[in-house]
Amino acid sequence: MNAGRIAPLALYQEVAERLRQRIFSHELPPGTWVDEQALASQYGISRTPLREALKVLASEGLVTLKPRRGCYVTEISERDLDEIFTVLSLLEGQCAVNTVHKASDADLKRLAAIHQDLERAATANDIDGFFEANQAFHQEVQLIADNRWLTQAITDLRKVIKLSRHHSLFIEGRLEQSLAEHRTILDALGRRDAAATELAMREHIFSGRAALAKLAHRDKPA
């Protein structure tokens, strides 16, 4: 029995999720042509749910459907990243403002606990652990902000950012810089200072973009 095959009755969302993870892991790198026939055979499904899955991924910006040419994993440019991070900074900044107004003392304690995970990961130079704690911190801010439209927009943009070949935390000094930025955000939240929290969050997002740009420049062929 092939463990990679999907049962005929599985929903197209499952197909989309499998492809999504292959794209995020760069098993299907940006620019790759998506071989529908090969994938359908591999998963043991017809091309109908596969095509529905590709439409879902296209709506998320992860693949690009080209008339008469087929489907390709989206290639993300430096300009794309500039524009995405500009919008993301606005959205996450607004989330931070909402959090200031809605957070209970218990909410702030949860954020502080997550921040301690960041501190521990940074001390251990555990990039994977730091990344996971960072995601948890931002997701908790969004949860407290309690605006599903903001959360959905942020989630969709962060999916597209994963198409980048780089990871900002791998640049020298970025982990420590990110930790300091989180301290600033948490401090502003604790003071219930909406303007300072929004500014700190937006600067944190832009710092992540700057780190990605440095990595791209470093890896550019001479």
How much of the chain, in percent, has pLDDT values that exceed 70? 91
The pLDDT tens digits for 186-201 are: 999 999 999 999 999 9
The mean-pLDDT minimum among 4-8, 22-26, 28-32 falls in: 4-8
Q: Where in the chain is CATH 1.10.10.10?
A: 12-73
* Residue, of 128 and 10, whose pLDDT is higher: 128
Computed over every residue of the chain, the mean pLDDT equals: 89
3-class DSSP state for residue 64?
strand
Give the type of residue at 143: L
Quote the pLDDT of residue 143. Answer: 97
Question: Does residue 127 carry a pLDDT above 50?
Answer: yes
Tens digit of pLDDT for each residue in 98-122? 999 999 999 999 999 999 999 999 9
Alpha carbons 143 and 188: distance in angstroms, whole number: 18
DSSP H helical segments within the chain, as ranges? 12-24, 36-43, 47-59, 78-102, 105-123, 127-145, 148-161, 174-190, 194-219
Q: What is the CATH number of domain 78-219?
A: 1.20.120.530
Q: For residues 51 and 15, is the Cβ–Cβ distance under 8 A?
A: no
The CATH code of domain 12-73 reads 1.10.10.10
d(CA 113, CA 76): 35
pLDDT value of position 168: 74
Residues 19-34 have a mean pLDDT of 91
pLDDT at 183 over 70: yes
* The pair of three-digit structure tokens given for residue 181, joined into one six-digit string: 């930025």
Q: Above 70 in pLDDT, residue 6?
A: no
133-174 pLDDT, tens digit each: 999 999 999 999 999 999 999 999 998 888 886 677 777 788
Pair 111, 137: CB distance under 8 Å: yes
pLDDT of residue 1 exceeding 60: no
Looking at the chain, the domain(s) classified CATH 1.20.120.530 span 78-219
Contact residues for 80 (Cβ-Cβ < 8 A; gap 6+): 160
